[in-house]
Structure 1
Amino acid sequence: MLAKPRLAVLQTGLLLSLSCLLSACGGSDGGANPRTYYQTKTPYAPQQDATSYEAPPSGFNAVYTGLLARHGSRGLSSLKYDLAVYNMWKKASDDGALTSLGAQLGPDVLKIMKANFLLGYGVSGITTPGYGNETQLGITEHTQLAQRLINRQSALFESAASAASSNPRKIVVVTSGVDRAVDSGAFFVKSMLATKPALISLVSYPPAPSPYPEGGTPIAQPDGTNRFLLYFHKLVAKTDKVSNTANPLYTTYQDSQAFQTWLNDSDLAAKQAAILADSAAQTAGRAVLERLFTKAFVDKIAAGTYSFANTGSMTFSSDDGKFTSTLSGDGKTGITDLASGGSLIYELYAIAPAMKAEANVDFTTYMPEDQARYFAYLQDASDFYKMGPSITEKGSVTWKMAQILEDDFFNEVDAIASGKLTNVAKLRFAHAEIVIPFASKMGLKNVLQQQALSTMYTYDNNPWRGEYVSPMAANMQWDVVRNSAGTVLVKMLYNEKETDFKTACDGARYAAGSHYYDYTKLKTCYGHVSN
């Protein structure tokens, strides 16, 4: 059980910082534009005009490109926030406790809910409709991301396509195996081939690592799946167990177990509790709820007389009547105070832009800008501690598991540097839980600043922001060029913006101020050892 003195200290520190945040005293608002504040749910947009990219130095030509991309904009992951909020709204309706604005909330929640129940139905490329699927916006994000990659590297892919019969190279495609990542990869490849059909023979889906779990009945994974590489935050004994210490994947499996243990750490629990327990969080929650419900109803939530959870079952059918889905909530997502009530409405506010084509609801009506900014901060704080840089005293537990992905990026360039041009591209599709630790592992600026256990993450003392680190379809790309002497340079794009490698590697720049890095010096800086 958490010691009360520690929680009290955390709450006190959080109260001071958040009262400053809400009064806009001299601090950052997180870089969000007015009326956004969607953080890791932010719909994707490239962060730099492609016409402004630095050209390769004279004598260097593109030889390879590598990509890691989060899946595109999606619906809700499961029947949680929407059902809990709907149950709260239904009780208020039954009590006659709705304001005129609150009366609109229930029908809008049902629109969000129905859209998620049916998400992907009738969409080519979506095999199992329902929660967690990509929306039309998400499909568009990866469709356009592929087009921009092909256009940026047009000479590279044109050369690969022209030599496909005499000197074939591969476009390697790998995913986590989870539906929305698999679908993102499929939509990306579909768009790539629509842009340049001659590449079709180059697309390759390598066999999944096998046989796993060790010591049990092997579970077959589809070609193009690599859970160790792209789902390393959630490796489990049932499918992924590695017990042989000589196995190169043993370390990744152990690091995954350490991360999952961290999720139950008492210090993490203390930080997460402090985030919502602060009086400023209750104040923000009340500001949201009292616009929707009578003060008497809101007071009952504050007193603990009323509480709500994602309990019960709902059924929705497609307009053509050919698809019906019935789901039940698990009761694990609750509204037990004002802060959690406001926070769950914020979750619907944050997902609504991704679902514009499917639900077409505007939740800014229910989430005033000041409270949107506040709950965005709470979301950032939660993600920062859970899977971001987190607590200094905990070391690298939240990102050490990303070593396998860092090695994979470097190993691909190692091959190029040794003259093996087997792959022209490697395309990897995963999740925020992969992108966020990887950005930390790479030591990107404004990404890897930890907080001491005795302090609390705030927008005033830490530059980490979910909307920068991992918006929907977040991506990292390495463009590799080589000259006739065999010198290899690498340039990184992060969310399609030319981005520096970690500061310690500045000496590896090919020229002062350049975004191209000498590969030999770069891998030495990162401590990478070629296989």
Structure 2
Amino acid sequence: MLSNAALTARYYQTKAPYSPQQDAAGYEAPPAGYAPVYTQLVARHGSRGLSSMKYDMAVYNMWKKAQEDGALTALGAKLGPDVLKIMKANFLLGYGVPGISKPGYGNETQVGINEHKQLAARMLLRQPAFWKQIGETASTAPRKIVSVTSGVDRAVDSGTFFVESLKTAQPALAPLITYPAAAGPFPDNAPAVSQPNGTNRFLLYFHKLDKTTDLVTNTTNPLYRTYQASQEYQAFKNDQDLADKQSGLFKTPEAKAAGRAVLERLFTKAFIDKIENGSYKFSNAGSSTFSSDDGGFTSTLTGDGKTKIESLADAGSMMYELYVISPAMRAEANVDFSAYMPLDQAKQFASLNDASDFYDKGPGMTEKGDITYKMSQILVDDLFAEVDAINKGDLSHAAKLRFTHAEIIIPLASRLGLKNVFQQLPKALTYSYQNNPWRGEYVSPMAANLQWDVFKNASGNLIVKMLYNEKETDFMAACDNAKISSSSHFYDYAKLKACYGYAALN
């Protein structure tokens, strides 16, 4: 079985299973006199199954027609049964797994669960003396470990598995875990929608704030800015320039050729030609039912018909969607889709997906300004506010853990201006691997995470080091003068804060 590190070399884009990008043994040590005083995390949920019955049903419907036509190659004959394995695994995903309340599409897989358990374990191992002290003083001088999520199942579950891993490794931390009250009450023009403690949609789901649950009309409310930025971003999702960029990606000769190359391994030329000339079209319409092996759970779902195969590029891209999800489902489906997706075509479709994400989640077009990442300012503010508290002598928090989604991690990375992450393109150019370093598998693989470790000396001076996917990572280049030395990954906090446009420290 391939390691997660090897899997990321197979063009799985933002569905790449997580692998730490640096061995902790190689981390730069803090300068003499500095000791860890605080840490904080923002993490994407772990590897998951498909979000809904879309690509799988569309591909299966295409395969069934090819079977009826006698148009399958020897390899193509294997595709249908493998798609059914993927479908069954998604229908039943999470059934019988402690911590998963509602089985089905969108849940974390065993790979994803382990990603967060192991991430938590490595957090403890990175600073063992710090965590030992936090545990030993839990009854005499308790410091909170604050946990918040977007409120969406897979992010909530990631938080649960992460925290349980902390408690298993170091039981003394258990009473320190706290879940703050949800922001609110919202919406502010109707009865409040109750949300569980530990939920913060404004902080960790800002791309989809909704008037039915999150409406903020009071301009003096600190959350008003985030709500408005969310509405502006959601309106941008219907922007004509964005639509033109994204739709155009799959209409190129290269996309068509990649689709044909994938299909030629599976179907006869006559069948493929009928897709190309429009005689054959497929969608995710139809119903399926699957039951668990023990008969304890049955699920029936009906596709909405909105996911369509109307071109060779469409067909290839949907095959790619099954290809990229299969590594996350190794335990549940045990299907290797690499036979159906050669690396050259995987790279082609990864580049198209990266382009699409670049435009609607990433840096995007220069002419659109900060529309794709302005809403992440609340999260940047929260990161700095936590360190500010430490600087002011408030040690009530030992750590803050946040669990969220790719749609949050990606704009956060843009807002922070990270190298090879924030490089916009003018509308006249179209993103490609040749003209931009942005890559989904780097910016937001499954369980992507950003961590800030904070250190303090006897004089009270704070320094900060950032880990991005557990690799020591520089802040934006403009902040290099905040480094404690030109080759260091540690930053003087006062200078770093000023560099990001905040007022000088008190």
Structure 2-normalised TM-score? 0.98
Q: Distance in 2 between matches of 1:257 and 1:33?
A: 37
Equivalent residues of 2:149, 2:159 under 8 A apart: yes
Q: Distance in 1 between matches of 2:165 and 2:7?
A: 30
2:135 is aligned to 161
Q: Distance in 2 between matches of 1:276 and 1:35?
A: 23
The one-letter code matched in structure 2 to 1:453 is K
Q: Distance in 2 between matches of 1:34 and 1:444?
A: 20
1:518 is aligned to 492
**Counterpart selection for 2:46 from 72, 76, 92:** 72
2:188 is aligned to 214
Q: Distance in 2 between matches of 1:232 and 1:57?
A: 37
2:207 is aligned to 233
Residue 36 (1) aligns with residue 10 (2): yes
Secondary structure, counterpart of 1:489 in structure 2: strand
1:309 is aligned to 283
Q: Distance in 1 between matches of 2:139 and 2:8?
A: 52
Structure 1 unmatched runs, 5+: 1-30
Q: Post-superposition shift, 1:513?
A: 1.0
Q: What is the CA deviation profile of residues 254-297 of structure 1, one whole-angstrom value per residue up to 9, with x for unaligned ones?
A: 00011101110000001011100101111110111121111111
The one-letter code matched in structure 2 to 1:228 is F
Residue 286 (1) aligns with residue 260 (2): yes
Q: Distance in 2 between matches of 1:34 and 1:258?
A: 34
2:76 is aligned to 102
Q: Post-superposition shift, 1:157?
A: 1.3
Secondary structure, counterpart of 2:138 in structure 1: coil
Q: Distance in 2 between matches of 1:501 and 1:282?
A: 39
Residue 297 (1) aligns with residue 253 (2): no
Equivalent residues of 1:207, 1:225 under 8 A apart: yes
Change (3 A) 1:35 1:245: closer
Q: Distance in 2 between matches of 1:34 and 1:496?
A: 15
Secondary structure, counterpart of 2:491 in structure 1: strand
2:125 is aligned to 151
2:300 is aligned to 326
Q: Distance in 2 between matches of 1:493 and 1:168?
A: 26
2:177 is aligned to 203
Change (3 A) 1:170 1:33: closer
2:95 is aligned to 121
Q: Distance in 2 between matches of 1:35 and 1:390?
A: 25
Q: Distance in 2 between matches of 1:32 and 1:127?
A: 32
**Counterpart selection for 2:449 from 440, 452, 475:** 475
Residue 250 (1) aligns with residue 221 (2): no
1:92 is aligned to 66
Q: Post-superposition shift, 1:512?
A: 2.3
Secondary structure, counterpart of 2:10 in structure 1: coil
**Counterpart selection for 1:58 from 8, 32, 52:** 32
The one-letter code matched in structure 1 to 2:459 is A
Q: Post-superposition shift, 1:473?
A: 0.3
Alpha-carbon RMSD: 1.2
Q: Post-superposition shift, 1:34?
A: 8.6
1:457 is aligned to 431
Q: Distance in 1 between matches of 2:8 and 2:383?
A: 36
Change (3 A) 1:443 1:32: farther
Secondary structure, counterpart of 1:277 in structure 2: coil
**Counterpart selection for 1:48 from 22, 26, 36:** 22
The one-letter code matched in structure 2 to 1:493 is L
Equivalent residues of 1:35, 1:369 under 8 A apart: no
Secondary structure, counterpart of 1:123 in structure 2: coil
Q: Distance in 2 between matches of 1:312 and 1:33?
A: 33
Equivalent residues of 1:241, 1:253 under 8 A apart: yes
Q: What is the CA deviation profile of residues 160-184 of structure 1, one whole-angstrom value per residue up to 9, with x for unaligned ones?
A: 1111111111000000000000000
1:347 is aligned to 321
Residue 408 (1) aligns with residue 414 (2): no
The one-letter code matched in structure 1 to 2:43 is A
Q: Distance in 1 between matches of 2:491 and 2:183?
A: 32
Q: What is the CA deviation profile of residues 170-220 of structure 1, one whole-angstrom value per residue up to 9, with x for unaligned ones?
A: 000000000000000000001011110000110000000010001111001
**Counterpart selection for 1:275 from 249, 269, 272:** 249
Q: Post-superposition shift, 1:33?
A: 7.2
Q: Distance in 1 between matches of 2:122 and 2:327?
A: 23
Residue 504 (1) aligns with residue 478 (2): yes
Q: Distance in 2 between matches of 1:445 and 1:290?
A: 39
Q: Distance in 2 between matches of 1:451 and 1:35?
A: 25
Q: What is the CA deviation profile of residues 324-362 of structure 1, one whole-angstrom value per residue up to 9, with x for unaligned ones?
A: 000011111110000000000000000000000000001
Q: Distance in 1 between matches of 2:56 and 2:486?
A: 52
1:224 is aligned to 198
The one-letter code matched in structure 2 to 1:337 is S
Residue 190 (1) aligns with residue 164 (2): yes
Secondary structure, counterpart of 2:301 in structure 1: strand
The one-letter code matched in structure 1 to 2:184 is S
Q: Post-superposition shift, 1:528?
A: 2.1
Q: Distance in 2 between matches of 1:332 and 1:411?
A: 43
Secondary structure, counterpart of 2:250 in structure 1: helix
Secondary structure, counterpart of 1:491 in structure 2: strand
The one-letter code matched in structure 1 to 2:149 is T
**Counterpart selection for 1:492 from 466, 489, 506:** 466
Change (3 A) 1:293 1:76: same
Equivalent residues of 2:8, 2:17 under 8 A apart: no
Secondary structure, counterpart of 1:242 in structure 2: coil
1:438 is aligned to 412
Secondary structure, counterpart of 2:256 in structure 1: helix
The one-letter code matched in structure 2 to 1:413 is V
The one-letter code matched in structure 1 to 2:228 is Q
Q: Distance in 2 between matches of 1:323 and 1:85?
A: 25
Residue 396 (1) aligns with residue 361 (2): no
Q: Post-superposition shift, 1:32?
A: 8.9
Equivalent residues of 1:311, 1:329 under 8 A apart: yes
Structure 2 unmatched runs, 5+: none
2:240 is aligned to 266
Q: Distance in 1 between matches of 2:245 and 2:112?
A: 32
The one-letter code matched in structure 2 to 1:428 is R
Q: Distance in 2 between matches of 1:467 and 1:217?
A: 41
Q: How much identity, in percent, do the aligned residues show?
A: 66
The one-letter code matched in structure 1 to 2:270 is A
How many residues end up aligned between the 2 structures?
A: 501
Equivalent residues of 1:34, 1:369 under 8 A apart: no
Q: Distance in 1 between matches of 2:182 and 2:393?
A: 26
Q: What is the CA deviation profile of residues 80-109 of structure 1, one whole-angstrom value per residue up to 9, with x for unaligned ones?
A: 000000000011111111111111000000
The one-letter code matched in structure 2 to 1:402 is S
